[in-house]
Amino acid sequence: MSVNYDFLIVGSGFFGSICAYELKKLGYSVCVIDSRNHIGGNCYTQKESNINVHKYGPHIFHTSDEEVWKWINQFVEFNNFTLRPVANYKGEIYSLPFNMWTFSKMWGITQPEEAKKIIETQSLEITGTPKNLEEQAIRLVGTDIYQKLIKGYTEKQWKKSCKELPPEIIKRLPVRFTYDNNYFNDKYQGIPIGGYTQIFEKLLKDVDVLLDTDFFEDEIPNYNKLIYTGPIDRFYDYKFGELEYKTTDFIHHTLDGISNFQGTAMMNFTSKDVEHTRIIEHKHFEDTESYNTVITYEYPKDYKAGKTEPLYPVNDKENNEKYLKYKSLSENEENIYFGGRLGEYKYYDMHQVIKSALDFIRKINN
């Protein structure tokens, strides 16, 4: 390939696509490659039966960052969707995230002080700073909720004992002593009307894009600088060992003649007796009218580097220490930059990736 680009960007998810868009505006020549057959990374949505299907799991945009919110609204209009998932434990239905609706159903109580006293009593054995997810969860919501709504779901999802997982994972989930089941605390929330893919189409409209192109296996264009958003351990040929990720199989079903399968966008199945972790019903993200519905079963599976998609970093002590070795190598590179959830080995949400990408562009343009 004779073209010599100023920047080659590996990956067309948010970090890569934002970098491409902003660099193109600054006058650089840019090429984006992606090993998949579509743009948008894990945020890719595809219309089926008039429903925008989130092909790699649900993506609910949320942020309190004014800059990020204004930036993303250049490209798309958002609806007012707020995530209010439901937990299904062997047919018992509970409200998520943990709030007074959850506590009332679990314990037959109505007042916040009653819930706090029960949690305090059930967590007496957890002294000092929680050392793992199990201890952190019991400290937050007590043993009853931990056993029914956290333990089975989490161990299915991460394929590890809760005693082996870092406490930070459960800290991401709100715990409220009010009757508020809005999953996120952020000021701005919603789903792009018409799905996410349109955002990436606009970001990459004036950029050269090569799909089905593997950075390590295929012929790639000439370039002066590289922005790499893939797994950082793969880039260095696993020199310090493989980093660990959580990954999932998404099994999609179109149900003809059924207009409403479960009455909610997300239902979590918290018992270990059920193989899937949750069912997503996509039409509820945008209140789509249709005679059919599309649902997705999510099945956790073992991660194998280079063979399965790395979705979520397992940021425990061992993996983070390993990552720091790769990060040290990356900091000595000239004209090679790493970004995004895989490149930085961080459990980013979408708004955090956008912020990281915008900050990165400002930094390299100075």
Q: Is 70 exceeded by the pLDDT of residue 43?
A: yes
Of the candidate ranges 90-104, 156-170, 220-234, 277-291, the one whose mean pLDDT is the lowest? 156-170
SS3 (DSSP) at 118: helix
Output the pLDDT for position 2.
60
Residue 94 CA to residue 86 CA, distance in Å, equals 6
Indicate the domain borders of the chain.
4-79+188-240+313-365, 86-171
Output the pLDDT for position 79.
98
Phi/psi at 12 (nearest 5 deg)?
-110, 25
Output the pLDDT for position 307.
84
What's the mean pLDDT when you consider all of the chain? Answer: 95
Residue 40 CA to residue 13 CA, distance in Å, equals 5
Give the helix/strand (H/E) hosting 316: none
How far, CA to CA in Å, does 335 sit from each of 5, 6, 157, 218, 364? Answer: 13, 10, 37, 21, 10
Residue 216 CA to residue 224 CA, distance in Å, equals 17
Residue 152 CA to residue 90 CA, distance in Å, equals 11
Q: pLDDT tens for residues 115-151?
A: 999 999 999 999 999 999 999 999 999 999 999 999 9
**Which residue type is seen at 55?**
K
Q: What percent of the chain has a predicted confidence (pLDDT) above 90?
A: 90
Phi/psi at 262 (nearest 5 deg)?
-130, 0
Output the pLDDT for position 253.
97
Q: Which two tokens stand for residue 218?
A: 């295929």
Pick the CATH number of 4-79+188-240+313-365 from 3.20.20.80, 3.10.310.30, 3.40.50.720, 3.30.1370.30: 3.40.50.720
Contact 245, 67 (CB under 8 A): no
Q: pLDDT tens for residues 313-361?
A: 988 889 999 999 999 999 999 999 999 999 999 999 999 999 999 999 9
Q: Is 80 exceeded by the pLDDT of residue 23?
A: yes
The three-point CA angle 255-259-265 to 5° equals: 90
Contact 279, 250 (CB under 8 A): no
Contact 184, 60 (CB under 8 A): yes
Q: Which two tokens stand for residue 96?
A: 């998520």
Q: pLDDT tens for residues 184-194?
A: 999 999 999 99
Q: pLDDT tens for residues 238-267?
A: 999 999 999 999 999 999 999 999 999 999
Residue 54 CA to residue 150 CA, distance in Å, equals 24
Phi-psi region of 111 (alpha: psi -120 to 50; beta: other; left: phi over 0): beta
